[in-house]
Structure 1
Amino acid sequence: MVVKYKQNYIGLCIKGKKGIEKGRKDIIIDFKSSSVPSTPTNHSNFTSNNEERVASTKLKKSSSFSGTSCSNFTKNDRPTVSSIDRDAFLKCFEEDFIPVKIVNVKDMQDRMFQIKLTLASPHIDWEKRCSTLKEIRSLIANGATRYDEFFSCLRLLEPSMQVTLKDLRSQVVRETCITLAYLSVKLRSKFDHFTEIILSYLFALIPNAVKVMSSSACTCISFLLENSRNSNVLSSLLKQLKSKSNVIRREGYDFIALVLTKWSTRYLEKNADAIQECIVAGLSDADSDARAHARRGFWAYADHFPNKAEQLRRSLDFSKQKLLQGKINGVVTKVASSIRTRSQSADRSKSKDISHSAKVDTPQRPRQATCKNLKVKRFVQDNFEPESDDAHSESSSLYSNTSFSSHGSRSEDLLHVIKNLDNSLWMDKREGLLSLKSLLLNGRKLNFEELKQIMECIVRTLHEQHAKLFSSLLDVIPELISTHSNMSNWLYILLVRLLLRGGSSDVLGSLQIKLWKCLQVIRDTFDPSEQIQCLAKIIIEPSLSLSLKVKETISTYAIEVVKRIDGEIMEKLLKDNGIRLAVSKIIMWTSEPKSGELRTASCKLIVALFDCNPPAFQSILSSMPHSFRQKTTAVLKTFVKRATGDEHKNSRFISPFPPPPPPVVDNGVNDIDIDQLLHNLSNYELENGKRMDHFRALLKVTTSGSIPEDEWDSFYSSILLLILDAVSGKEEEDNLKEIALKTLNELLQSDITKVGKYLDLTTKKILECKLSENSQGIKTVADKCLKTLMKMSDLPLLLISISSCITADLHELNVISLHALKDLIEKSSREQSMDALSSIASKVILAYYSPESSVRKCAVVALVALYMKVGDTILKNYLKDLAPAKLQLLELYIEKLSKKERN
């Protein structure tokens, strides 16, 4: 009944096409007669085309017409209402969120626990469970991944996700698949274990009669395999190929072809023999589509393991070898010759003399094709051209414009790319990058000489400042790295250029996100020990003038790299003089007075190096000057949370100081042991009540002035950092925060000059406390602390410090910072404002473009205060790039204030 309706519908469409060419009309009628209902999904839109009948020149029924892709659909063959494609997933990634605000770690953990309970209970309303799945995506979008505890909570979600995949509601299964794909895209390698566990449940959905379930599962699997490149994931995939279901086997071989096309060789080496066995089984499968996917997988396998592929081809019987040679429409592609050619090309790349003397035979373009075949080819190009860029598709090799072209024509495409990249115009360079990306997505592998030429062009392009060109570059580099394993020679230059751009203030927020994704691919792909050596070289390179922001970017990136290194390898690395020198520079960064973010990042890096191999780190620390050892010890005592009792004795950190005496706390101020008091304050295992008692004792010490001046200098920094750590605690510690802020105010009043190198951190923590919604007492004490800070003599430094708290995303903090900045500008002299003008103006103008109206209003008020202080002549240099509408509004505010002052 469905077929009859479909045929009638096509017939009516043909009748309406009065001006259609006769030959084209015949082809459409021929297609009408072969129309059948859609077969089960095929995730990459690869076609089988019934290759057992290669001698026939007539257009046969093939899956390129009847098959529907789960991840990429053809331009004119859109998915039906019931199927879910890749575009639908991507749309949900960008739009389908619910409002979520993460207050702190405990809030995030509570939400994840509630999500686990909801998803694990099938009796709960299905709409509630769908909303819960969207909440997971919203948590990630709102920064849940910045907490390490999130990943442990995610592991607990694995059983709950398995339950939702078994749900009878198609909408629940659809949302689960979208959420799994979103997690895979965002977490990449950190989602590998989840992918390994969940794959079998997704494959079980493929034969499902409900199209939403089967297509969602296929699309989800394609996302998982693209982002989770791990040998264990591949092993889990290979197990599915032993299924009794022909649909599962068919899709499984298709996914194997996808893996062999997208993954680099180093991820496949462990399972190379198992993949070969699967390809052999696939070539003999009862399902014709499965055989076609297996043959395509053989081609991709040959790109990674040419020698094994040649041995496999020879072991097959003659009929299978003939099918692999692919005699389609009179065009014969000799697989064995191409494999030997690729093998010889790889050998030639190692020897310059051989590479110049050897010649490669390539198949030539046939001079003539039959009229009917040309009509078929033209019809399919116009109406059924796949959106997928995968050139390993058999349909593309049969019908695309380059189907009859040789390897030489592909080289011409690459020469065109290189020519564009060498052009001086940025538009031509961008066109070259887009063409290169298309070639890479089509499975084009570059030999060493080609890769060298491309990388030389890319390195030159990395110096370009144009945003669109840089954005295209950040799209190409991950594809190059993912598809080529011989990129180690360019690791250093890539890291140098990308880290320098990452620390630049002129890079837009969207480009920053894309840049960090690119750095994440580099971090996950290259050997961590090589990355550490390159980072050390960057840090100690005297010709590179690293800004504070670049140093912070390097430290943030290095933390994740260090966490991936084995302790024994780190011990060998720390024996290198260059790395030792880099460590000493990082220790100096921990006391940088102008950037609190750099101090925090470098301190975390020191702790990460220590945690990787404590004995090796202590050995290089012992060879450093006393001042370096003292700084490092202070960092480790602050950041490494040590417990009391036996845990403290067994701690990996061996302090150069003797162990503290038994606790002695007395009501008398003179009897308080400062060393022991600081040790108790740094013990996070204590209850809030006991910690509050210790802070009260510290408050007495700071107000009494009983500590000698020489001891006060040595304790001041430690006390300040402990207080700042306490004021940034959880919401339920409001009483502790208030006492800590009172202590901070007394500490600032006692000697405000000693806060110098921690000024940025202190300012930011005080401003954050002014955002407290639960306690008015905290706000009041924070105001007192801010007024105390404003009494310091070096107001330009404080102006810079407050302006550094203005960021692109924290709107509430921006409002508080702009208010404080405006008050301080009015209090300072003209000379003091001039000293900090460059830092202030750039940050306030950034806030002036905020999407929040409250932030924009505070920014324009601060600009008016700055104008009244420094004058029109000096400030107009910073306002020349301001939008006309915003400049007009600023002039209106200035005019109103001027009239008010005159009156």
Structure 2
Amino acid sequence: MIPSLCHLMVDPNIDVREIAASTLIVIFWHLGENVLSSIRKRQLIPEPKFQMLMTRFNEAQMNGNHVSSNTPTTSQRTGRSSRRSHLPQKPLLTPRSNRGMVGSRKGQLLEEQENSTSVPSWQRASSVPAHKRPLIVSAKGSSSAGSVSDEAFQRAFTEVPKCNVFSSKQLKDQISEACAVLENTDLDWSRRMIALKTLRSVIIGGGLDYSDFSEEVREMQAALLTSVKDLRSQLCREACVTIAFFCERLGLVMVHVIDALMPTLISLMQNSAKVMATSAQLALQYVVKYVCSARLLPHLQTAMSSKSKEIRRNTASLFLMALTLWESRTVEKNMNIFLECIKASINDADPETRRTGRELFMQLDQEYKKQADMLYKALDPSKQRTLPGFVSQSSSSQSIISERDALPISQRNAAYVLHKASPSYYSGRSTSDIDPGAVRRVTNRTVRTASKWGGPLQQVNGTPSTTQMRTSAAQRLSSASQKFVSSLRRVPPTPTNYVRSQPGSRSSSPASRFPARIPPRSQMSSRTKIQIDEPEDHASVSSDSFRFETMELATALSCCASSSTTEKKEGLKALFTIISSDKQVNEMDLKKIVERLTPLIVEAAHKLLQPLTDTLIALVRRYHEELNDWLNLLIPKLVNKCSTEVLPSNLEKYRILMEAVRTSFDPEKQLYAICKFIRDPVRNNVSVKTKHGLLMYLHDLMRGMDSAPSMNQSEVRQAVSKIFQWVDDPKNICLMAISEKVVCDMFHLNASDFTSMLATFPNDLKDRLQTIVRKNSFCLSTGNGINTNEARVGILETTAQINDFVDRRTGLPISSPRVSPQLINGLARSPYDSIPLRRASREDQSGSLSGYILDPQGFADDPEQQEELITKIGEELSLHNQRSEERQRAMSVLSQITRDNLFSLWDKHFKMIFLLLIETLKDSDENIRRMALKLLKEICYAQASRFNEFAEMALMRVLDACTDESKLVVTAAEECGGVLATHVSSATCRRVLLAIIKSDVGEPKIHIAIKLLTKVIESLSATELELILDEVAPPIVDTYNYVSSSIRKESVVCLVAMIMLVGEEHMAPYLSELNKGKQKLIDVYVKRMKGIFE
């Protein structure tokens, strides 16, 4: 009997396992230790379950509840309740009062579990010892077994060990210690649970009172991510509780951490363990409720396309919460995502998700009626009828799919009823003879006809022949839509192009099938508004009334892939109409269009060139922002065709197309795309004519650029080297003149970056480039408004761009020693010169910001106020070595709006702010320099991605500040450098820091460069470090032999960091160059670090 009972201990049914366990406890009670030792020796029960059984048996012995040894009678064996009378009762199995940290909260929750008829969760067979299982999880029903409630989350928020924080250092130590424990997955899970509770207790103990806390939040990202990914459900639940608590207390401060945690939390919602799934769901509810940021939406949008119905169902609920709770400004900016996900929810296969989708639509209709109308019209009629307010009709004449029928009753007026009853609405035709099969046959036959496209818009968006069958489209397209089609085409369509069919014997003539006019706006409901009176509103007919179908786009693309020139031409006309219509093409369809048009550019015949050019021009002018990745293919192909074309008419078409590309796309992205093509050894094997065409395109592009892109990029450097490799070839001698123009254009656009780039070239190429610039210094390059003769003054001055910018902002007098009078007069005016400096009543009469009162809520919602304030701040920061107090106040205000995420005009003003702060690092006042470094650090925290363009300049200036005379400035510079090293591109940081380490710039700079390189290395993964070991390790091994002890010490720390990541085996070849004493010292440090982690 005992082996059978032991086998039942692993039964899938929880009731069977419980009864088997209780029966075995009775046997242990009567037969003693012999049975226990026999079961353990024969390993009849898995060890975790045996330990659980032993715990319950020990509890029974401690409580002294003796089980009667009398043999049950026959009557006692007849019923389940009688048999259970001899089993240990539930009070016998009550957890100990000193269980973990929950002993003080048994109370009411424990009583509910003891009195429940279902099996308590802590009594289940589990690998977790019974005395360690928490009481948060409830199991009051089979459907919700193991789920976590919101009340349990709220209780768990404050059930933490007491922790008082009395200083910033203690705060950092507490958080660092907890994070170290959480990131070490080899430690016992109970220690990691305590560490998670410690993170919550830090906030409860007063951690929020310290300004450094927001900086420490990012340090928790890796620890929280590791905890959420843990396979142990209790640890995962505790991590979700901690995340929810932090979101509730910190709000938007958590946005960067949540951005990294969202994918993991979303994937947890489908976990088979209810504890983990419901914990993730609750955590995400807190995230959406308290972290109202648009950065969450892409993650939720991706989740809506998940294969798991649990994920889609819960994501739809999160969208409903966001739509209800978030500010209107945030929702409106991301309305496309909301509309797409609401539509996906309504069309979902899961009934629960569809119900949530209908609730989403109701909420949208209450708050944003215009967008709700647009979404309503984009839905299938069958889905429209499921929305609230729809009443289906039963008569045959009313069973046609009609947008009017789909209107909520509250939105129908008397005019609609009168119009609906009119015969003209049915276009003179009985609706009872419409056969769906006939519709499909007529549609297919129409598509296959020789002039299948007719007028492009009619076929793609519904020809008269197919539209009469699609009655919803027939109500929208009439003479107004035909006029709009005519306005889009190069040649107005003739009536003979229309393909008409008359299915059914009772069909009337084609002319009578469509209403003579569409009722005016006042006679229609809000969901079927159509303007036909105003010519400029014709475009809205396409935008608001219908969406081209994927089937029709696929047909157009298949025609473009046909071997027939005629079909290709028709397909291009259809694509042109689709692109030109007001309806937005989604990203996936754009990709299909691009993939189809790219080969046509190469193989375009003379007959296809006109429609191809029209289609491409329409595409790049409308969707250039979505097609930046296409530039790398598009520009070289166009240049190649233009360079090899001989027919003047075709050549002119290509030139017009290239001009449209040049003026539509971002010039900086075009520059980088061409440079990538030039440096590519596989793709750049082209003819001399194509090379000349590329350089000419580059020359024309840079002449028209107003802004100064970053020239000191790897793509640009390698492209310049490749261009002069071309020039050195005797076959390419004709490229000499145009290549020199391109070099001069680069210098004029960004003298500072170009000069920095020169330092990376070999000496012969460097001298050659300098000679070219000097030789062309008297030639005018008016593309960016700068005279090259004037720019020649600063040819080797690395800070030319910054000084010029500041000089233009401050209006220096002609006698300023920093720049020549001619340079001031010749420079282009800054865009800020034309902005009047408005002084609000919040400022004092002297124009300073000392009396400026900032209203956070009003300021965040008022772009004009932001523009006014940032202009004033820029004006103050431009006054170098003057008005120190006012500049400190200006930086304080800028720091406040940066920390609190109140400033939204970074796209426009980031470069100006950055350059002014870099220039401020040269100020004579040490307090100003220190404050500028702190502000740079805060901006890097908030806008890290924007620093990538200026990372090299920022690092160089911060390293310069590390040699400052003031210790406070040096400390601020080291902190700023540490943030830059961990937040901007690691490749850029590594390149700059290694260049400093290998140079002879002085010990202080080399010391701090090694220190920052260590931070960069610690932020990498083992795989990433292995790939760059050959680049990183040898210079650090060399500095280990340095004379200075401080540099040697930092070198040891850096080498130890590498060993801890990749292991001693990978580092052995590099360390073999050191003597045994130094190797032994490294081993000591490695052992010490391993001891700390253990």
Give the TM-score category using the shorter length. 0.3 to 0.5
Larger RCO, structure (CA 8 Å, separation 6 or more):
1
Larger radius of gyration: 2
TM-score (norm 1): 0.38
